[in-house]
Amino acid sequence: MKRRAIISVSDKTGIVSFARELVDIGFELISTGGTYKALDEANIPVKYVSEVTGFPEVLDGRVKTLHPLIHGGILARDSVKHMEQMEKNGIKYIDLVVVNLYPFRETIAKPGVSFEEAIENIDVGGPTMVRAAAKNHGRVTVIVNPESYEEVLSVLREAGTVPAGMRKRLAAEAFSHTAEYDRLIAGYLERQLEPPDTFPETLRITAQKVQELRYGENPQQKAAFYINAEAGVGTLANGKQLQGKELSYNNWIDMNAAWKLVREFETCAAAIIKHTNPCGVAMGKTPLEAYESAFAADPISAFGGIIAFNRVVDTACAEALKERFYEVIIAPDFSPEAREILSSKTNLRLFVVGRGELGKVMSGWVYRSVEGGYLVQEIDRGTTPVSEWEFVTEQKPTEEDLVALDFAWRIVKHVKSNAIVVADHKRTLGVGAGQMNRVGSVKIALDQAGDAANGAYLASDAFFPFPDSIEEAARAGIRAIVQPGGSVRDEAVIEAANRLNMIMVFTHRRHFQH
């Protein structure tokens, strides 16, 4: 008896050559819709599913394979009872099911996708066939991943059959495939129902392994990188590495920090990151100008850092970049000339990310693990607009002051708390990160800025609990300070700023980062 395979795939990678080899091995093929068309146009013998069922596709193609002659052929066992029922009802065995599902993940990741379009990309017949074949893996082989085609063909050529152990493994992969698909759909629908300020009762994270990493944060830790099923344009996970060594766990962490920071700016900007903290951030008319200013902020720490640009890296910028050692350079793109220039640095990783839109990152949640559980919070989106700031001192800021304060304020959000940034209008001068007391971070940032702190601007991610930080800033010549406010000692802090003839503004929004 001739073996039969049913093939219905959305991802048609390699399907024509795979199907042709199945025919050569001796399989009869059944197919549907676009898959049938692809095989037929390639002159591969294939039967349309309605030829087998005697029933046409109906309801705009929603019902094609949901028929006893298909599912009976998949679910039937090699038992006398089943064979008698099959003969009585005209059912023939189906031995191989090759199915991958409607592209629901890709559909909901598209910008502006409608609810109706998303729903139409929920597969019904495909998962039903996959589950039926996986349940009956004692007899039936199920394939949901094009990467399995050659492996299955190899054993069919050599042994004429797929061994039981392989069928079981492919069945497990199939159930994982449909389970992930259902989790993705359920999560999408739940988000349509829930108010945006509520958290789901059940947390569903659907992600697919992209690669195993050499090791984790340290060599004794194993690690892997997974992509969230809902990662959209402009997210780091959907970026592309153009050259260089394999990315490490620490590279991914630092790249994430760099990309989130540089996306804060609409004007051309560059950020250099070490251990998730910025050592230099600057704006410029060109990528080169922004890069050189960012580098000048802390040349020592920049060595071996991660650089992110929010503009295409051009020839002039690439010429400057190649003179120094960096781990990764991230940008919306690199010009052909820039890629050629940087290609000589074979270990340097170049990474391209679509610019996307700030605030459109993932599903809106940040996940952190604690022992035995997860913490979930909203993404800290954007910063308080300057128009909503409160001018709390006798000295009021000019428009020029506000530009510089806004620049520093956007950066301090991305520094580990307690966080202090000293800056001028276009670049950082000093960064104080991760200290256990705020005045300690102030001293570090001012020390790094040196004489450049005179007339500069200072941003703090949270309120000042005491006037001591204000006094330190005044001694260094800081002109103006931006901070959230909210301390029980705000009056004392404001009084110190007035006494020292400084400008201070409150944003009324804190930006802790742990």
Per DSSP, the three-state class of 374 is strand
User: What average pLDDT score do residues 76-102 get?
Assistant: 75
- Give the long-range contacts of residues 162-170, CB within 8 A, separation 24 or more: 164/138, 166/141, 167/137, 167/138, 167/140, 167/141, 167/142, 168/137, 170/134, 170/137, 170/141, 170/142, 170/143, 170/144
Q: Is 202 exposed, middle or buried (0-12, 13-18, 19+ CB in 10 A)?
A: exposed
pLDDT at 359: 35
C-alpha dihedral sign at 132, 135, 141, 146: positive
Number of residues written out for the chain = 514
Q: What is the largest CA-CA distance in the chain?
A: 99
Q: What is the pLDDT of residues 295-345, one digit of tens each?
A: 999 999 999 999 999 999 999 999 999 999 999 999 999 999 999 999 999
Residue 270's CB is within 10 A of a number of other CB atoms, namely 32
Q: Under a CB-based contact definition with an 8 Å cutoff, are residues 46 and 40 in contact? A: yes
Q: Which of 438, 420, 437 is nearest to 429 (CA)?
A: 420
Strands (E), 124-268: 141-143, 207-213, 223-228, 240-243
Sketch out the chain's domains with CATH numbers: 4-193 (3.40.50.1380), 231-352 (3.40.140.20), 388-506 (3.40.140.20)
Q: Choosing from 12, 82, 92, 135, which is the catalytic residue?
A: 135
* 135 annotated active-site: yes
Is 514 one of the catalytic residues?
Answer: no
pLDDT digits (tens, 9 = 90+) for 109-166: 777 788 888 888 787 788 888 988 898 898 888 999 998 889 988 888 888 888 889 9
Catalytic member of 12, 67, 92, 275? 275
**What's 450's DSSP letter?**
G
Distance, in Å, from the CA atom of 103 to the CA atom of 496, rounded to the nearest integer, reads 60
The dihedrals phi and psi of 232, each to the nearest 5 degrees, come to: -105, -175
Q: Which of 293, 233, 292 is nearest to 111 (CA)?
A: 233
The larger pLDDT score, comparing residue 85 to residue 283, is at 283
Query: Which single residue is written with the structure tokens 């605030």?
Result: 359
Rounded to whole angstroms, how far apart are CA atoms 407 and 245? 34
pTM over 0.85: no
How would residue 397 be classed by pLDDT, with cut points 50, 70 and 90? very high
Phi-psi region of 67 (alpha: psi -120 to 50; beta: other; left: phi over 0): beta
CA-based angle 17:21:24, to the nearest 5? 145
